[in-house]
């Protein structure tokens, strides 16, 4: 194919529709056009979550080679070497397009934390068992993230910055704040600046200033004030103020990769205190003693069975 061999931009210009009418007509009349067109059409039907550029190229090459042989009746390889390189470029370019548009995802597992720097140099610290999703494309004009779990945000000034969760939305212009969003529980603490919080489950809004916090528990909105410091989990300790014990135990599970059997306790009770992230026995003591719980620990299964000592 003379045009392709002599013009490195030919294929890219064809994909983007920038060929002249004469070039396009000549290309369509060439013997190579049918092969390239099939590869391009197949690439556009690829789904982003399942996309693998190298694997897709191999499969496409084999499939089109087989079909071409069957059609012309030859048993020899009739596809020139340059066709493989060009086809790979089509598929890889398609993969890059999907990568930019489907976004970026970060996840943490049990007892893990992760520091994430966003495209505008805003910073996010993900706590254990959490997930953050956002799109890099047009980030400066659309600073939008999706959060499951807990994260601390240090946001650079700029366009509106929104954190979307299933339980609510946090919107800021430049601030530092902590968000917990999991299984119907929603909590926001503002450390610096000002944040607007929308509790989508009950359709209520609130504006938080430094030292203000709110939580949504069982569709009831609660507010309180706190000392303006870094979240304790960033330095290896989880702390709570009048927090439902159910959320405290979830935090304990996330930090130590255990399962708490809560069948014998009242999950509506509240806890004020904290626990360290590096000593399970001490963490259990610090949670169970003030709550008047006893427990047994099946270390092989990683299961903590909690029992209430208070029969009243």
User: Within 13 Å, how many C-alpha atoms sit on residue 238's CB side?
Assistant: 30
Domains of the chain and CATH, by start: 2-102 (no CATH), 104-225 (2.60.120.1440), 236-308 (3.55.50.30)
pLDDT at 7: 62
According to DSSP, residue 110 is labeled T
Count of C-beta atoms within a 10 Å radius of residue 3 = 15
Candidate from 62-71, 111-120, 271-280 with smallest mean pLDDT: 62-71
Confidence of residue 240 (pLDDT cuts 50, 70, 90): very high
Amino acid 283: pLDDT: 97
Determine the average pLDDT of the residues in 224-233.
Answer: 88
Tally the C-alpha atoms within 13 A of residue 112's C-alpha that lie toward its C-beta: 11
Give me the chain's average pLDDT, please.
81
pLDDT for res 40: 64
What span, in angstroms and rounded, lies between the C-alpha atoms of 132 and 260?
25
Please report the pLDDT score of residue 25 as a whole number: 77
Give the integer Cα–Cα distance in Å for 112 and 39. Answer: 42
Using left for φ > 0, alpha for ψ between -120 and 50, and beta otherwise, residue 67 falls in alpha
Q: Among 276, 306, 301, which Cα is nearest to 289's? A: 306
Tokens of 105: 């995802």
Tell me what the mean pLDDT of segment 201-219 comes to: 94
Q: How far is CA 210 from CA 20, 133, 207, in A?
A: 60, 26, 10
b/e map of 244-261 (b: 16 or more CB within 10 Å)? bbbbbbbbbbbbbebebe
- Per-residue pLDDT averaged across 3-24, rounded? 66
What's the rounded Cα separation, in Å, for the pair 65 and 5? Answer: 21
179-199 tens-digit pLDDT: 999 988 999 999 999 999 999
């Amino acid at each position: 194919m003379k045009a392709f061999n002599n013009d490195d931009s030919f294929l890219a210009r064809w994909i983007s529709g920038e060929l002249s009418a004469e070039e396009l007509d000549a290309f369509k009349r060439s013997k190579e056009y049918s092969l390239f067109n099939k590869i391009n059409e197949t690439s556009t039907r690829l789904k982003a979550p399942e996309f693998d550029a190298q694997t897709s190229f191999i499969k496409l090459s084999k499939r089109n080679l087989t079909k071409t042989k069957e059609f012309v009746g030859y048993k020899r390889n009739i596809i020139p070497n340059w066709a493989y390189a060009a086809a790979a470029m089509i598929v890889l370019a398609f993969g890059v397009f999907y990568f930019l548009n489907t976004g970026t995802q970060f996840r943490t597992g049990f007892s893990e934390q992760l520091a994430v720097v966003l495209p505008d140099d805003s910073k996010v610290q993900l706590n254990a068992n959490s997930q953050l999703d956002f799109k890099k494309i047009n980030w400066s004009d659309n600073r939008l993230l999706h959060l499951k779990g807990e994260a601390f945000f240090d946001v650079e000034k700029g366009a509106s910055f929104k954190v979307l969760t299933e339980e609510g939305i946090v919107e800021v212009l430049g601030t530092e704040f902590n968000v917990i969003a999991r299984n119907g529980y929603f909590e926001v603490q503002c450390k610096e600046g000002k944040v607007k919080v929308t509790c989508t489950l009950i359709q209520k809004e609130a504006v938080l200033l430094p030292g203000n916090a709110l939580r949504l528990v069982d569709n009831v909105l609660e507010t309180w004030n706190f000392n303006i410091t870094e979240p304790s989990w960033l330095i290896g300790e989880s702390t709570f103020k009048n927090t439902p014990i159910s959320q405290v135990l979830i935090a304990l599970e996330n930090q130590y990769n255990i399962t708490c059997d809560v069948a014998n306790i009242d999950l509506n009770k509240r806890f004020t205190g904290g626990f360290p992230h590096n000593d399970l026995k001490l963490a259990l003591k610090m949670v169970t003693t003030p709550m008047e719980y006893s427990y047994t620990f099946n270390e092989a299964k990683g299961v903590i069975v909690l029992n209430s000592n208070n029969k009243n």
